[in-house]
Amino acid sequence: MKFWEETVWLPPGYTWQHFKDPKYAQFSHLLYPIPSAFLVLILRAIVEQKIFRGFGTYLGLRDKHKNYTLAFWARRKAKGLKLDTLDKFCETGWRWCAYLFLHIMGVSIMTKKPWFWQTTEIWFGYPELHVIDPEVWWYYMIELSFYWSLFISQFADAKRKDFLEMFIHHLATIFLLVLSWVCQVHRIGSLVLFIHDFADHWLELAKLGRYAKYQKVCDIAFVGFLTVWVTTRMGVFPVWIIYSITVEAAQLLEMFPMYYIFNFLLTALLVLHLFWTYFIIKAAYKALMFSDDVDDNRSDSEDSEPED
């Protein structure tokens, strides 16, 4: 069986020729986010170095390596050079800006779509009537560019405790986006993106407060993160998304192989959510029981300096 066999990727009775019309999602457009990812990395360097480094210094965080002139990410990997608090503050500041932007963009786009309000619209008329919405096209391109940049930068950033899990997460997310695009199921793909953009900017804000020693900001943001995470990742995601693809789709679609692979990948994401929820609740329990700063169990560097 050939890799691009229509019977694998498309519903029965459809071929690739059915989707040559530009009104449908085009496979060639998936190449755009790869070079765009490097533009995102350049933007990241500018935001970190020109905005958050100065802001962190203003808040009293010292730059231990201010005379160190290695390239942007080389400083993070140089032998014997540890990631200091200001470095972490800058890196976290970039991620907070990026996740907040993606969240706002998702809300502004998805709340106007009919399949947001009625999930049976995800599958009704599939695939013939599922032309690509211009706003959803941009949503996919920007999200894919960002996730490709995360995939690339994780090899240069400070090594994290959950490096393997994040590696799997980025791969699964990119493959899910590509798969949903190629199979013309971008309606449910856009909803998955929407759900996953809710919580992360709260965590990054909590870490910014922690590094800057604004404990009230850290605590409030972490409570917000915990609430939103559990609600969206452990509640809405399985009840809304996985229910729709397992129950509603089964009633409205003829099954094909990629449908089952798509289900498997969504289930894998749910398992990762369970894994991270354990560490998030562990961090909350530690903070409550021992009155210590909320520690980011998901992302502390293995070789970073101890912190109060």
CA 150 to chain centre: 9
| Spatial contact of 53 and 90, defined as CB atoms under 8 Å apart | yes
- Its sign, for the CA torsion 114, 119, 120, 124, is positive
pLDDT given at position 82: 53
Q: Over the stretch 187-229, which tens digit does the pLDDT of each residue have?
A: 999 999 999 999 999 999 999 999 999 999 999 999 999 999 9
* Mean pLDDT confidence for 1-23: 86
pLDDT given at position 304: 40
CA 191 to chain centre: 13
| Spatial contact of 305 and 266, defined as CB atoms under 8 Å apart | no
**pLDDT tops 60 at residue 80:** no
pLDDT given at position 85: 86
d(CA 284, CA 281): 5
- Looking at residue 152, the DSSP 8-state letter turns out to be H
Per-residue burial over 242-259, b if 16 or more Cβ lie within 10 Å, else e, is: bebbeebbeeebeebebb
d(CA 64, CA 81): 10
74 confidence band (pLDDT: 50, 70, 90): low
pLDDT given at position 171: 82
- Its sign, for the CA torsion 233, 263, 19, 131, is negative
* Mean pLDDT confidence for 76-81: 48
> Domain ranges in the chain?
23-290
Q: Over the stretch 146-162, which tens digit does the pLDDT of each residue have?
A: 999 988 888 777 666 76
Q: Over the stretch 160-197, which tens digit does the pLDDT of each residue have?
A: 676 777 787 778 788 889 989 999 999 999 999 999 99
- Looking at residue 47, the DSSP 8-state letter turns out to be I
* Mean pLDDT confidence for 32-39: 96
pLDDT given at position 301: 45
How many Cα atoms occupy the beta-carbon half-sphere of 200 within 13 Å? 21
239 confidence band (pLDDT: 50, 70, 90): very high
Residues, the chain: 308
Q: Which amino acid is at 69?
A: T
Three-state DSSP state, 32? coil
Instruction: Say what percent of the chain tops pLDDT 90.
Output: 55
Q: pLDDT averaged over the chain?
A: 85
pLDDT given at position 70: 44
CB 101: neighbour CB atoms within 10 A? 14
Instruction: Say what percent of the chain tops pLDDT 70.
Output: 85
Q: Where are the alpha helices (DSSP H) in 111-214?
A: 114-117, 134-153, 163-182, 186-196, 200-211
| Spatial contact of 291 and 215, defined as CB atoms under 8 Å apart | no
CA angle 170, 294, 280 (to 5 degrees): 45
